[in-house]
Amino acid sequence: MNLRSGRLKGKMSDEAASFTSSLEFDKRIFEADIKLNTAHTTMLAKKGIIPSEIADKILKALNELKNEGIGALDLDPSVEDIHMAVENYVTSKIGEVAGFMHTAKSRNDQVATDLRLVLKEEIKGIGFNILKFIEEILDMASEHKETIFVGYTHLQHAQPTTFAHYLLAYANALRRDYERLMDAYKRVDMNPLGSAALTTTSFPIDREMTTELLGFSRIMENSIDGVSSRDFIAETVFSLSMLASTMSKICEELILWSTFEFGVVEISYAYSSTSSIMPQKKNPDVAEIARGKSAILTGELMTILTILKALPYSYNRDLQEITPHLWNSVDNAKEMMNMVRGMLTTIEINKERTAELAKSNFATATELADILVREKNMPFRTAHKIVGRMVTEALENKVSLDDIDSNFLDNVAHEVMGKSLDLNDELIRKALDPYENVKTRTVIGGSSPEAVEKVIVSLRTFLNEEI
């Protein structure tokens, strides 16, 4: 079928046909287009808009195409898009009466509906994989509730924690990524079919019926908005770019932690490579590539927003150019998550090294300041000054954490406030001990094994409700 034969004279140049064709990325919506045409034709017949015997022929041909697959279509660029390719197939099977299936719809509402149908399934698949990733992180966390680890701020030793507590930061970030994506799903799950070109149609179509047949939760209530809105794509890609950002952070930390200088994790050989010249190397290539791929999603989001920002209502062909950026984002997000998920869940933790780091560089100093506040009823800023001065003098005089006692602390206190503190040595020892330090963090969100277990239980409840 040649759409140009009515209004236009001559054929489009081969270069122009190739330039404007969407067939290459339309392959993704092939099955959705069959589903849409099936639902639409069924509705037309039930409403008496087209003869039932013609509808039966159309539906039979569509079912044959579904079974034969996309290879049965003529995908020459001159066909323009998948919608015309499908219609041409049906025409080749039943003749010109195939044109009845295009009654009361346009390629404008057709492509918008197809995109939503496919994207819904993609989001559900990605969402399920996020939940499984969280589940695996919780399993890891359950094994490391007492594995001492040092936390960082400004990439400097900050306070001791546990590896389980650290892993739960990932789990909670992924939960928000999941919830953000599922919230975007609500805007995807809307039916534009029936909007036609932009003002609906004079045929008495039943949009509620096609909404039900296609599995949408609600109808788009403005036809201009129905054919021109692509905010659901921008929102989905934003959600995916945030997910990629979370995974990129995980990759960054695995890269750092696996260095000789940190030495706290060992990345599996399955996610490592070596150097072409340096035989001793074990490089975290998968983590680096995944970290780099996060930029792809950010770039695709910016491209989509740039295309959308100045388009007038309603349909413009520019919208076609958004689609490949959507699918590239989806594919990269899925691939990236599979890699990061496999890599994180197979690492080995060097518990001796994590304990050594947690005990070095006075990461427990905050708890000692807190004890001064509690035991000596002094303002925190005064306690902060005393302990800060104590750390400086210990480092300058090469005094280790284990050698800090009441005498050392009193000498510092005399310099700062002119009097001794007379703290019990055992109290100081417990304050500066990483594990004892961790055990005191029992508030919600804290690092103690008990607090961590509560969060694990809470997240498992969430997973059970979602999976």
Positions marked catalytic? 154, 275
Bridging pattern class, strands 265-266 and 218-219: unpaired
- Token look-up 């930390």 returns 253
CA of 137: how far to CAs of 127, 274, 460, in Å? Answer: 15, 27, 11
**DSSP label of 198:** T
Amino acid identity of residue 232, one-letter, is F
User: Beta-carbon neighbour count of residue 294 at 10 Å?
Assistant: 23
Catalogue the E-assigned strands of 179-285: 190-191, 218-219, 265-266
CA of 224: how far to CAs of 310, 314, 321, in Å? Answer: 16, 5, 19
For residues 282 and 50, give the distance between their C-alpha atoms in angstroms, rounded to a whole number.
Answer: 67
| Residues sharing a CB contact under 8 Å with residue 141, sequence separation 6 or more, in sequence order | 163, 164, 167, 168, 171, 452, 456
Q: Which H or E element spans position 348?
A: strand 348-349
Q: Which residues of 21-56 are buried (b: 16+ CB within 10 A; e: fewer)?
A: bbbebbebbbbbbbbbbbbbbbbbbeeebbeeebbe
